[in-house]
Structure 1
């Protein structure tokens, strides 16, 4: 095991942008999969790539707006929930002070501190009600204050990721006029991107990267195959 000198500063490496990464994963995974399945399905039913492009672009626009709006509403809900719980906690600190101090003592008791320290910390914390409420929000309710711009950032990140992912399976249809020929290139390009995306997504989130990449790729392949099969069936 490598020896780390005592005078060398220890730098902890933690993932601090998990919310942004989560938004990218949500947008990109759906963006790669849904337009890919749509394009594959249409390729089995139409004779012109232009129709696939038109339908695909329309789906990307609608999908990115819908996904972005979903991200925005989720962010707003999180912020509204936090503010509602904070107002309640502020009222409880004012109205039932002793009960709230007992809850502080219980938090530190669960950490193994003795009764004297529990009492001293609770009394000291009660001197600053803002910090007291901050403490209760985090350690009693398990709520961290959300970024006030989280909803807007989430909507933009998810929507943009969806657009970027959605354009990948459509690229061959912009170039090739025959949809069956374009489908082959689209499958190769999209499955490669799904594998790369799944690999890095799994690596960032601490999962086995290769198995994660295979799983994401298989999901996209099954969705596209199902759409293509259904379109061919009804077209026949």
Structure 2
């Protein structure tokens, strides 16, 4: 592996926003064959094509939708045991709003904590570069050690990176393995989780808007049918998004993921309905005891 290949590998990692490239750099780091340059350009074009798909945003959406499709559904299914449609709708909407706000705030605080942790680690790394440069040099060598590179190449890379303004970025990416969070990460995380939770939880409530005030059980049947389909599609899509959409193996994984999602939602809804029904029976026995 040549130094040009190593430079191509390092170029795949993000740079710190507050770092500026040096005017004087090793010219060898910019010398690449035409074939390698063409391959790198093609890979960069592919990354640009998929840049709109943010893995973290997708993960946040999955978290919001997953909770929204189970918790509110279980609540509305449990409240349906009371037989009053208005109670189900009002209780479901209250839970949706409160749950979305709570989930959004949790996502916001979590992203802020991640940002603060990154900044603290960056400050420690920068302080270490000033107070203990020898340990930083050792750390650089340790990073390249698992790749079985020639000692001369490792020495050259270590020497270059030790005096490079991009050293903090290199250490954050390769030593601490912490990507730099964007400034809008916390807000996007909060909105994505909250919106996903609300959308996922609103689906089981839809049938209750189209039935009479005492037809909660009828709406429950439609809600169950709707949620079975929604949970299966969500589980299938979530699994195939990770493993792939084509191929018999990926389709089988998607089917298993969809069935697992339906099972989880069914257990949650059944447990909620059982608890509400149990409380209702206890309340009726208590009333009967008072009348006696």
TM-score clears 0.5: yes
| Cα distance in structure 2, aligned partners of 1:102 and 1:227 | 57
Aligned counterparts, 1:180-195, within 5 A:
180-195=217-232
CA contact (8 A) 1:37 1:224 kept: yes
Structure 2 gap segments, 5+ residues each = 1-37, 244-249, 282-292
Note if contact 1:40-1:183 (Cα within 8 Å) is conserved in structure 2.
yes
What CA distance in whole angstroms lies between the structure 2 residues aligned with 1:198 and 1:143?
29
CA RMSD of superposed structures (Å): 1.8
**CA offset digits 1:50-77 (Å, max 9, x no partner):** 1100000000000000100111111111
Residues 1:59 and 2:125 are matched in the alignment: no
Are 2:205 and 1:160 equivalent residues in the alignment? no
Higher gyration radius (CA): 2
Distance 1:204 1:157 in 2: 17
What is the CA deviation profile of residues 18-77 of structure 1, one whole-angstrom value per residue up to 9, with x for unaligned ones? 111111111011111111100111111x23201100000000000000100111111111
Q: Distance in 2 between matches of 1:28 and 1:109?
A: 42
CA–CA distance in 2 between the matches of 1:12 and 1:52? 48
Instruction: Select which of 274, 279, 284 maps to 1:234.
Output: 279
Deviation at 1:88, TM superposition (A): 0.2
Partner of 1:137: 172
Match of 1:99 in 2: 135
The match for 1:29 is 66
SS across alignment from 1:26: helix
Q: Which sections of structure 1, spanning at least 5 residues, go unmatched?
A: 1-6
* Alignment partners' CA distance in 2, 1:72 and 1:196: 28
Q: Distance in 2 between matches of 1:221 and 1:70?
A: 26
* Distance in structure 1 (CA, Å) of the matches to 2:106 and 2:173: 26
Does 1:124 pair with 2:169?
no
Post-superposition offset of 1:127:
2.1
Aligned to 2:235: 198
Determine if contact 1:194/1:217 at 8 Å carries over to the other structure.
Answer: yes
The count of corresponding residues between Structure 1 and Structure 2 is 228
Counterpart contact for 1:63–1:162, Cα < 8 Å: yes
Greater RCO (CA < 8 Å, at least 6 residues apart): 1
In structure 2, how many angstroms separate the alpha carbons of the residues matched to 1:143 and 1:111? 20
Moved more, 202-211 or 18-27: 202-211
- Separation (CA, whole Å) in 1 of partners of 2:58 and 2:85: 33
Give the distance between the partners of 1:38 and 1:99, measured in 2 at CA. 56
Deviation of residue 12 (structure 1)? Answer: 5.2
Which whole-Å CA distance do the structure 2 matches of 1:226 and 1:216 have between them?
15
Question: Segments of 4+ in structure 1 off by > 3 A?
Answer: 7-16
SS at match of 1:117: helix
Which of 106, 113, 120 is the matching residue for 1:84? 120
C-alpha separation in 2, matches of 1:235 and 1:108: 66
